[in-house]
Amino acid sequence: MIKKILLLSILAAFSFQSFSQITYDKDTVFVDMVPGIIKTGKIKVTNSSNHGIQLSWRLLSSTLLDHGNPLGKWTLGFCDCVTCYSNDFSALLVLDTCIDLMQPNQSIDWKLTVDPGTTQMQNAEWIIEVFNHTDNKFDTLSYFLQKPNSINDISYNADVTSYPNPANTEFVVNYKLTNVSAPTLNVYSIVGGKIGTYSLNQVNGSLNINTSSLENGMYFYTIEEQGQRVFIQKFNVVH
């Protein structure tokens, strides 16, 4: 009888955990900016559990042209669970808690909007950490804003794989690129900006990145060609 009760308890706990989750249709989105037009990047957030879930978020990294930026200000907006914010009178918020619980099977688009207007355009990022208070879980969502491609009718293709993830002392990136001439690979900390740049001298090859001196945490790398992002991927470092 004790074994049966224990087994039922384990199965019940497993069943609860399997339904206790927030899912995303993607964790990274790119937004191509167009002067005078509001462009939107959406990440669909879904409560796939059988109970209400409390969410909050905080900003990890931003290079948006927001209030106080000497280069000017873009028209920006961000929408989470039930609230939309704008930078009409002040900079976007850096953290907030959703007013209402996300209900079972509910889906909401978390959106970042931008119109650069007449202000200088540049590639930028808005990276947030989402905290699921109900299940004590964290996720990271990344919104990347891109200036218009100055090279028309060129399609960049990237066949990229990387391992191991998580990395300990070394991280390997294998790549096969097309329509590029001088690609670079950049490594970023999720909160600390760029931490390394590597020139890729060939369109096909492998790059070994020493991660032994990096702190434990989340990072991401991009492959870029003439200022345009060709590829982006997250990875973790654990020692």
**Range in 47-61, 69-83, 137-151 with the lowest mean pLDDT:** 137-151
For residues 161-188, average pLDDT:
90
Q: Count CA atoms closer than 13 A to 115's CA, side-chain side.
A: 9
Give residue 149's pLDDT. 58
C-beta of residue 186 within 8 angstroms of C-beta of residue 194? yes
What order do you get walking across the sheet with 157-163 strand by strand?
Answer: 157-163, 170-178, 204-210
Per-residue confidence band for 3, with pLDDT thresholds at 50, 70 and 90: very low
Mean pLDDT for 49-77 is 92
Domains of the chain are: 21-146 (2.60.40.10), 157-237 (2.60.40.1930)
Which has the higher per-residue pLDDT, 227 or 38? 38
